[in-house]
């Protein structure tokens, strides 16, 4: 089995134009998951807040969060030019360009001042292959957050090869039959999962979050193999 680095421009798991449609068929609860994120953030943030969206991709969460909170300012960061081109279009269509900015790059490219009240990383960290780089990613986010800021992490999780994850994967296949996710795409999705997605067990995720400087971690979402955690800086 070969290990790959998934790059959404040169080696994408899904072509950028099809990302949103594929995600809503393939990822259990994709839409409701964003509603949960919104609810988690709303319950902690004031009406005026400054949010960092890491791995903003095609702009789903940028627009969702920006639309329902008219005084939030959002910065999306993502290395993929193709995904950001879609985000840019979506932001303009919803007339949110005044409050939503995007930058092509990585968290580490941003100024280090702790200016954000919240950050999200939705379906991003599982593409980072090794634990040290995942920890550096989380630390990079923590460094840019104010004390007590809220962080939302959503990732595919579990230990590859474990009976638990294998059972969940069998359930994911059954779920795909229900959503009508085409069989050829299922095959491609699993190839990407096997070769280019690096999930961690929940225990390991919690350990890394603590090492990165987050505490009071709560799991607020589970959609088969997708988990969502809310954590606080400090």
Binding residues vs ligand SAM (CB under 6 A):
8, 23, 54-57, 60-61, 78-80, 83, 106, 122-124, 127-128, 137
Minimum gap (Å) between residue 113 Cβ and ligand SAM: 19
Task: Give the residue with the Cβ less far from ligand SAM, 18 or 148.
Answer: 18
Minimum gap (Å) between residue 196 Cβ and ligand SAM: 11
Residue 118 CA to residue 44 CA, distance in Å, equals 9
Task: Give the residue with the Cβ less far from ligand SAM, 128 or 200.
Answer: 128
Minimum gap (Å) between residue 174 Cβ and ligand SAM: 22
Task: Give the residue with the Cβ less far from ligand SAM, 122 or 168.
Answer: 122
Task: Give the residue with the Cβ less far from ligand SAM, 18 or 164.
Answer: 18
Residues present in the chain in total: 234
Minimum gap (Å) between residue 17 Cβ and ligand SAM: 13
């Amino acid at each position: 089995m070969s290990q790959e680095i998934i790059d959404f421009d040169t080696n994408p798991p899904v072509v950028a134009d099809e990302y949103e449609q594929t995600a809503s068929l393939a990822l259990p609860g994709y839409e409701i998951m964003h509603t949960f994120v919104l609810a988690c953030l709303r319950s902690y943030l004031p009406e005026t807040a400054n949010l960092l969206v890491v791995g903003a991709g095609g702009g789903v969460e940028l627009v969702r969060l920006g639309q329902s909170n008219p005084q939030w300012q959002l910065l999306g960061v993502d290395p993929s030019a193709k995904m950001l081109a879609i985000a840019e279009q979506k932001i303009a269509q919803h007339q949110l360009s005044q409050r939503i900015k995007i930058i092509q790059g990585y968290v580490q490219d941003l100024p280090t001042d702790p200016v954000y009240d919240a950050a999200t990383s939705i379906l991003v960290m599982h593409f980072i292959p090794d634990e040290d780089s995942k920890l550096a990613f989380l630390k990079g986010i923590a460094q840019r957050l104010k004390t007590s800021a809220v962080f939302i992490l959503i990732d595919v999780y579990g230990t590859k090869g474990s009976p638990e994850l294998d059972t969940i994967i069998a359930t994911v296949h059954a779920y795909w039959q229900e959503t009508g996710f085409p069989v050829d795409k299922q095959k491609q999705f699993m190839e990407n999962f096997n070769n280019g997605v690096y999930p961690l067990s929940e225990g390991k995720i919690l350990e890394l979050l603590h090492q990165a400087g987050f505490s009071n971690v709560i799991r607020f979402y589970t959609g088969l193999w997708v988990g969502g955690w809310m954590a606080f800086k400090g």
